[in-house]
Structures are given as structure tokens and as C-alpha cells.
A and B are shown apart, each in its own frame.
Chain A
């Protein structure tokens, strides 16, 4: 009677129903090891591309040519690789912030806003401060980091001390940040010489380029260093242990004497700070030194998707962020080759859905039904199974949001 089904994802139920007609059934794994989880995600993406390819062929398009163009655009030339890197930096920065908060089961949906406020602070410093370029850039970075954290301050205080849902507060502040950016571009920091696009004045300094690169600066190192630092914190420090404990069971953390509310506050501010710094990095790239309303191409949203699909693993974020940046870059190239933007969006959606399905698939295995259990309804063991309280539920929920949205 207590065959709890609440723990099953809708997709799990569907798969279970499909399997009912076969001698196989789905069984939930007790543990999902990282390697399998990564492989099923890659498998999901590849599977989605195969499906997309078949659909393209059926509608009379040359799928092989399209995929070849995409691969060639990315890997065939240095511009492609640099184009991916430029797109990856802001996505990685916002994704790392979100991934950090997810370790604590806090959902920072506001990285777009924090990113914009970081960039805005950097513009403010950059266009007003004199002195040597390196010093201006450092002050810009500090200002952006603080601005990103400050933009998180109210949601963080509200969540930590009054249990106000951070999803709503962080999400809504995105729109406020966007209005502030628009105001700055139209009003107080407007570049009066720019004729066409309403924009702020331009910052005179850019970060030094990477050796051998045409347009990629040392900004690329930031997400890599931050990912490594976060990985180390969670592997080898008591702070990482405490954050994971809060994420796993906040009451147990309190029992262990962790200052839970203060930790939540500080970690949330950090997630904002990382996104804010991302805004400065974006601004200090050659050719991007001014802000307008289109400054953030929803990097925060992409970053959120990356963090959720990566299951809050920091190296997973790096891999996923580079993949999604490649996908977006390929999409732009394919548009120039005459593929409609709608088809490209559909392909994005299919691939993300494939990855999300792969994430879920990693949690199940197929088991041959025993003869005597043949009459039993298929499905994983009941909700009482203790391991189901474990972490993958966060990315799973996100995956379901994604499916609903695409």
C-alpha cells in the first residue's frame, strides 16, 4: 500500500509505463557515481543531436553538412575557439556562483542582476577614475565584486534571518538591475557622442590578452581559478564541510554547532560577488567596454542552466559551460549559413532536454523482471528508500523546470 510514487520524476513514471510491456523494469540506483552521471549527460546530448539530425534530414535539410559547419566553425579556426571562450567566461562566472549556492540548496536565480550590477560598478569606476590602467582595472574588479555581493545583500539577509524564499527575491531583482543599466545608458553615464545605440561611455582600459590570443584576455583564467578554489574548499576545508552539511540537513548543521544563518548569509553574498566579478570581466574585454541594455545576453540564465545540469559540481560547471558556449557560438555561425533562428532555438532546446534526460537516466538502471514479480507494477522502490534525500534532487528539479520550459 505504501508504494510511494512521490519520489519518481514524471519522466521516470513515463519510462516505467513504457517498460510495463517489456520484461524489464526501472530500478532506482542507491548511488550515482560521478563518472556515470557525466557519461549519461554526454549520451543525452549526443542522442538529442541524432534525433535533431534525423528531423533535419526528414525536412529536407542536409544534417551532415550542418553539423560539419558547426564543428568546423568552432574547431576549424582560432577565431572559433576564441569565440567560444569569450562566450564561456560570463556563463562560467554566473554558473559558478549558482553552483556554490546549490551546494547549500539555495537557488540564486539572480545572477543576471548581480552580473549587471558588477558591470555597472566597473563602468562607473572605469569612466571616472584616472591613473594607471592596471590600477583602474583592479579597482574596477573590486568594485564589481562588491556590487555583485551588495545586490545579493537583501535577498541573503531575508533568506538567512527571515526564511524569505530567495528564488523570488533574486529573480525580481534582475529586472531592477536591468532598469538601472538602461537608466545609466540613457541618462547619467550616457555616451553623448554615440549616435545610434544608447550606451554608456567607454572604459579606456582592457585586461591584457592571453599570449597568442587575438581577443581572449586573462579573464578566462578567473573562472578556472575560482572553480579550482571552490573545489578545494569543498574537498579539504571545514567551511566546505559546513556548507555541504547545511545543504544536506540544516537542522543537523545546527545540531553540530554550525552558525547556519550566518553561513547562508555569507555564502549567498559570495555567489553574488562571483557573478558581479563576471560582469567586470565581460566589460573589460576588447570591444565590450561600454554598457547598454543588451549588455547581458541572459548570461545568468545560461549560467543557471549550466549549474543545474552540472549537479553543482564545479568541474562539471566548467565542462558544461564550455559546451553550452560552443553550442551558442555554433548557433550564431549557422545563422550566417542560412539556418533559421527558430530551428537553432529548437536544436538548443532538444540538446538541453537530452542532457536533462541523461541526468535523470543516471539515477536508474534497467533490471530484468523476476518471473514471480511479473504482476507487480514497474517502478523504483518506495519513497521510504533513505538514499532519496540525496543531492541530485536539486538538479533533477531544475531539469524538470527546463523540460517544462522548452
Chain B
């Protein structure tokens, strides 16, 4: 990287973008390799070393003190902050510094009063105040509205014009083209290419990001008949109260796998949750076999035969502190198989858990061991199998193979394919495009809570899907 450059670092989730930058910022230590700043090799043992070398990072999650003012946050932990100082002097110093940098936020405002975009600006000011000459922005637009993002691009360009270097991490192609001078594509931790942005096309970047198709083959089908799941005009909020799903339509028929392709954080989590009645709707309707999900409890939706492999398996899909046997029936303990009235039949729970563990080949000492002791792959196999058994009509599988090694991933995939072949509808959500292409009979591309297009497996074109995932509509216009 040279000075005065905006360098975009692009790649899919897990490609290693953030890891690389954490090494640069002194948060992780590299196992091998060197970091050279201004011709000198540096070894960052802590973030302080990186700051000394002029490298500062703005994280996805802000590290601001909410009840304190902007000026206080900028001065917090800044070695140049005077020891004894008045509130007014702090404000004046902050004001002066903002003037130098051409970045303005009201210094007397408290952090919690600011919009996310303004908070981000304070974070950038904090990093700059410590003398950063290389500014790393980790997915800075993930939390911003479209307009805030535009403002950020202007700020970034201005800072670069002033002699700073900026590393801009993103997986949105439009942003790469809009803001960067040069770009580097990472894939599975390996650099695919570094080149000037000028002349690069979104299609080329998308192909480099997602890689080439694997040679594994799954027979795709075209299914007609009644839809098992119908999503009509659904809008929903995320946990922060921002609209995550916009007027979304989707149909999944019995006996088919519909894959949702998209970069994480574009509404996939929320989509899975509204279908399972875990999240309320703002508008629209979701029906499973004709029954309106919004009017049903979580349990009633489960009783319709809806299984859900949640994205956050440890946080939501299981109780790490409870025995494997209790986790085996988490989504079915109230059914007649396990309980009559209030009485829970311990023996049937234990028998079922043993069978589940054997079928899913979960490695555990016993069904009485806590689920938290299982390795991640075993936890995943347990949850996937459990939900497959719950799902008679519809299986919602969110990132079902994330973090699994090749063999474990194949087992989970064959479980899902078996469900499809037995006539169950499957909604497969994954940010691994290879997986979506491999498994799905139809593919829907999601971007910012909207379905950008639906393709039959036969017509699915990797490049076009990659473009849509990055927010480019087919005609090239930004959606």
C-alpha cells in the first residue's frame, strides 16, 4: 500500500479480511510473515505498538463510552490529553482537532444521542487523534444507512487526499468501485489479486470472491405443486429496530430446496426467524401449508412440522449447560412422544437421545454429558439431526455447515437432501455460494432484505448471482 491510497479489501465472510486487519492493528499476532511500515519491519505485540507505528483501526462494533460526551471520548486515553482540564477546554480542543481533520460532530453531545453514522465519525476522530496515518475501517457501512454510507465515502476520500492511507474492508462490490483506488480480493485466506480499481468490473471481483464451482454433483429437480411455505410482502425489523426485510416474497414447494444466496447481514437471520414465529412481522403474510404463521405461537408453528437449524447454534439452538439428552428434545419435549400432561417421560427422552446421537454420529461420552462439552461439529450434527426430525413439512436451515470440516459438512448436507427427497420443503440459507449452488433446486438472491432474483438451478449463473449479492441488479443499476 502506498500513502494517500484508499485500498479496498474484499472477500466473502470468513475469507480472512478482519483477521488480516487485526494483525495489522496489533490485536492478533501473526504466526508467520512480516509487517513492514515505512520500510521498517514492525512486530506488534499489542494495539499500542500498532498505534505507535501509525496504524489505527475502527472496528465494526464501536468502542465508545455511551454516557460521555464526544469531546470526552476523543480525549479518553489520548496521551496528549492534559492532566487537569475543564470541560470547556476539552470541547475547544476537540473542536480544533475536528477543524484540522475536516470532520465535524458536536463535541458536547453525548454518544448515546448520536446516530450510528455520527458515532462512527467519533471513532474515526479518536483513531486519527492518536496520530494514525493508516486507517483501517472494518466493514464500516454494515451499520450505516445508504445516505450515511455516502457521507462516509466522501470523508474517506477527503482523508486520503490529505495524505492518509485507508484500508476499507467490505464485501459490497458497489462500495469497492465507489471508494477505492486499488483493491485486494481475499478468498479462504489467500490473496487472489491486487489491482487498481480503475478498469475492474464488479463481475470480475465477484468471480474472484466466490471462486469456481466445485465438481460435486447433486441432482436438481423442478417441482410443481402446492407451496409448503409462502412468504408474501413481508417486512420486518432487526434487533436494532431497523427494517431488515423489505416487502419480501418467496415460495418453497414440498420436495424442493430453495437456497438463499447472499452476504451475511442482508436479512437472512431475520427471514429464518419470522418463518419460525420467533420474530414479529411489520407487514405481509407468511403461511405454512396455508396456516398463517403470524397468528401462531412458536410452538404451534413447530407443531405444523417446521424445523429450524438456527444460525447461532450455541446461543439459540441449544443449552450448552444442559445434558445432551435434554438438548435432544428441546424442540419436541412437549409432544406425546415424551410427555403426558405435565409429566415428562425421562426414559423415552433418554432412549430418543441415544438414538439421535447414534444416527447423527455425535461423538459424546454419554447422553448425560453436557452439550457444551461437544465439539462445534458435534453440536451442529446434533442440532441439525434434531431439527430434521422435527421438520415434517418445512426445514429452515441457516448456515448449516458453517465451521464444519468437509466430512461433517457432507453429512449435514445429505441429511438435508434426504429431507427433500422425503417430500419436505427446505429453505437453505448460506453465505457460502458454492453450497447454495450445490444444494439448491432454486436459488433466491437476497440483498438488503430484498429478493433480487430467483433462478432455477439449471440457469444459475455464478457471476450474475455474485453481482446481485453485491447489490447490482441485472441491468447494472444499483438496487
Q: Is B334 an interface residue (CB 8 A)?
A: yes
Q: Mark B53-86, 1 if CB is under 8 A from A, else 0.
A: 0000000000000000000000000000000000
Question: Once bound together, how far apart are the Cα atoms of A202 and B176, in whole Å?
Answer: 83
Q: Is A188 an interface residue (CB 8 A)?
A: no
In the complex, what residues of A have CB within 8 A of residue B281's CB? none
Candidates B298, B320, B344; contact of A237 at CB < 8 Å: B344
In the complex, what residues of A have CB within 8 A of residue B315's CB? 249, 251-252
A30/B322 contact (C-beta < 8 A), A235-B346, A255-B298 known: no
A245/B370 contact (C-beta < 8 A), A238-B339, A251-B316, A390-B320 known: no
Q: Which residue of A lies closest to B338 (CB)?
A: A238
What are 21 A-B contacts with C-beta separation under 8 Å? A31-B373, A238-B343, A239-B342, A240-B344, A241-B344, A244-B319, A244-B322, A244-B326, A245-B326, A248-B320, A248-B321, A251-B316, A252-B315, A252-B316, A253-B319, A255-B298, A255-B310, A256-B298, A257-B302, A386-B372, A390-B370
Q: Is the CB of A31 within 8 A of B317?
A: no
Question: Once bound together, how far apart are the Cα atoms of A376 and B121, in whole Å?
Answer: 43
Question: Once bound together, how far apart are the Cα atoms of A268 and B276, in whole Å?
Answer: 28
Question: Once bound together, how far apart are the Cα atoms of A31 and B333, in whole Å?
Answer: 24
In the complex, what residues of A have CB within 8 A of residue B321's CB? 248-249, 387, 389-391
8 Å CB interface, B244-293 against A: 276, 278
> Chain A residues in contact with chain B, CB under 8 A?
1, 30-31, 235-241, 244-245, 248-249, 251-257, 386-391
Q: Is the CB of B317 within 8 A of A252?
A: yes
Nearest CB of A to B367, in Å: 13
Q: Is the CB of A252 within 8 A of B319?
A: yes
Question: Once bound together, how far apart are the Cα atoms of A235 and B299, in whole Å?
Answer: 22
Question: Once bound together, how far apart are the Cα atoms of A366 and B237, in whole Å?
Answer: 51
Nearest CB of A to B456, in Å: 33
Q: Is the CB of B320 within 8 A of A256?
A: no
Q: Is B318 an interface residue (CB 8 A)?
A: yes
In the complex, what residues of A have CB within 8 A of residue B455's CB? none
Beyond A254-B298, A388-B372, A390-B370, 14 extra complex contacts between A and B, CB < 8 Å: A31-B369, A237-B342, A238-B343, A241-B333, A241-B344, A244-B322, A245-B322, A249-B315, A249-B316, A252-B316, A256-B330, A256-B331, A257-B302, A390-B321
Q: Which residue of B lies closest to A393 (CB)?
A: B321
In the complex, what residues of B have CB within 8 A of residue A235's CB? 346
Which among A239, A252, A253, A390 has the greatest number of chain B C-beta atoms within 10 A? A252
In the complex, what residues of B have CB within 8 A of residue A257's CB? 297-299, 302, 331, 334
The 7 residue pairs across chains A and B that have the minimum distance between CB atoms: A257-B299, A248-B319, A386-B372, A257-B298, A390-B321, A248-B321, A249-B319
Q: Which residue of B lies closest to A391 (CB)?
A: B321
In the complex, what residues of A have CB within 8 A of residue B317's CB? 252, 255
In the complex, what residues of B have CB within 8 A of residue A239's CB? 342
Q: Which residue of A lies closest to B326 (CB)?
A: A241
Candidates B298, B334, B344, B372; contact of A387 at CB < 8 Å: B372
In the complex, what residues of A have CB within 8 A of residue B278's CB? 254-255
In the complex, what residues of A have CB within 8 A of residue B374's CB? 386
> Chain B residues in contact with chain A, CB under 8 A?
28-29, 276, 278, 297-299, 302, 308, 310, 314-322, 326, 330-331, 333-334, 339, 342-344, 346, 369-370, 372-374
Question: Once bound together, how far apart are the Cα atoms of A251 and B322, in whole Å?
Answer: 14
In the complex, what residues of B have CB within 8 A of residue A1's CB? 28-29
Q: Which residue of A lies closest to B320 (CB)?
A: A389
Q: Is the CB of B372 within 8 A of A238?
A: no
Nearest CB of B to A389, in Å: 5
In the complex, what residues of B have CB within 8 A of residue A389's CB? 320-321, 372
Question: Once bound together, how far apart are the Cα atoms of A257 and B298, in whole Å?
Answer: 5
In the complex, what residues of A have CB within 8 A of residue B29's CB? 1
Question: Once bound together, how far apart are the Cα atoms of A30 and B319, in whole Å?
Answer: 16
Q: Is the CB of B318 within 8 A of A252?
A: yes
Nearest CB of B to A204, in Å: 40
Nearest CB of B to A105, in Å: 10
Question: Once bound together, how far apart are the Cα atoms of A389 and B321, in whole Å?
Answer: 6
Which among A237, A254, A257 has the greatest number of chain B C-beta atoms within 10 A? A257
Nearest CB of B to A137, in Å: 29
In the complex, what residues of A have CB within 8 A of residue B334's CB? 238, 257
Question: Once bound together, how far apart are the Cα atoms of A248 and B276, in whole Å?
Answer: 21
Question: Once bound together, how far apart are the Cα atoms of A237 and B334, in whole Å?
Answer: 10
Q: Which residue of A lies closest to B28 (CB)?
A: A1
Candidates A236, A248, A255; contact of B322 at CB < 8 Å: A248
In the complex, what residues of B have CB within 8 A of residue A238's CB? 333-334, 339, 342-344
Q: Which residue of A lies closest to B308 (CB)?
A: A255
In the complex, what residues of B have CB within 8 A of residue A255's CB? 276, 278, 298, 308, 310, 316-317, 330-331
Q: Which residue of A lies closest to B276 (CB)?
A: A255
In the complex, what residues of A have CB within 8 A of residue B299's CB? 257
Nearest CB of B to A384, in Å: 10
Candidates B346, B369, B370; contact of A236 at CB < 8 Å: B346
Question: Once bound together, how far apart are the Cα atoms of A248 and B320, in whole Å?
Answer: 7
Question: Once bound together, how far apart are the Cα atoms of A386 and B346, in whole Å?
Answer: 25
In the complex, what residues of B have CB within 8 A of residue A236's CB? 343-344, 346
Nearest CB of A to B369, in Å: 7
Question: Once bound together, how far apart are the Cα atoms of A1 and B346, in whole Å?
Answer: 43
Candidates A248, A253, A386, A391; contact of B373 at CB < 8 Å: A386
Question: Once bound together, how far apart are the Cα atoms of A251 and B311, in whole Å?
Answer: 13
Nearest CB of A to B234, in Å: 20
In the complex, what residues of A have CB within 8 A of residue B316's CB? 249, 251-252, 255
Question: Once bound together, how far apart are the Cα atoms of A386 and B321, in whole Å?
Answer: 9
Candidates A30, A240, A253, A386; contact of B320 at CB < 8 Å: A386
In the complex, what residues of A have CB within 8 A of residue B319's CB? 244-245, 248-249, 252-253
Nearest CB of B to A404, in Å: 25
Q: Is the CB of B28 within 8 A of A245?
A: no
Question: Once bound together, how far apart are the Cα atoms of A101 and B346, in whole Å?
Answer: 23
In the complex, what residues of B have CB within 8 A of residue A391's CB? 321
Which among A244, A253, A386 has the greatest number of chain B C-beta atoms within 10 A? A386
Q: Which residue of B lies closest to A237 (CB)?
A: B342
Q: Which residue of A lies closest to B372 (CB)?
A: A386
Which among A30, A236, A254, A256 has the greatest number of chain B C-beta atoms within 10 A? A256
Which among B29, B276, B298, B344 has the greatest number of chain A C-beta atoms within 10 A? B344
A387/B322 contact (C-beta < 8 A), A238-B334, A238-B344 known: no
Q: Is the CB of A249 within 8 A of B318?
A: yes
In the complex, what residues of B have CB within 8 A of residue A386's CB? 314, 320, 372-374
Q: Is the CB of A31 within 8 A of B343?
A: no
In the complex, what residues of B have CB within 8 A of residue A245's CB? 319, 322, 326, 330
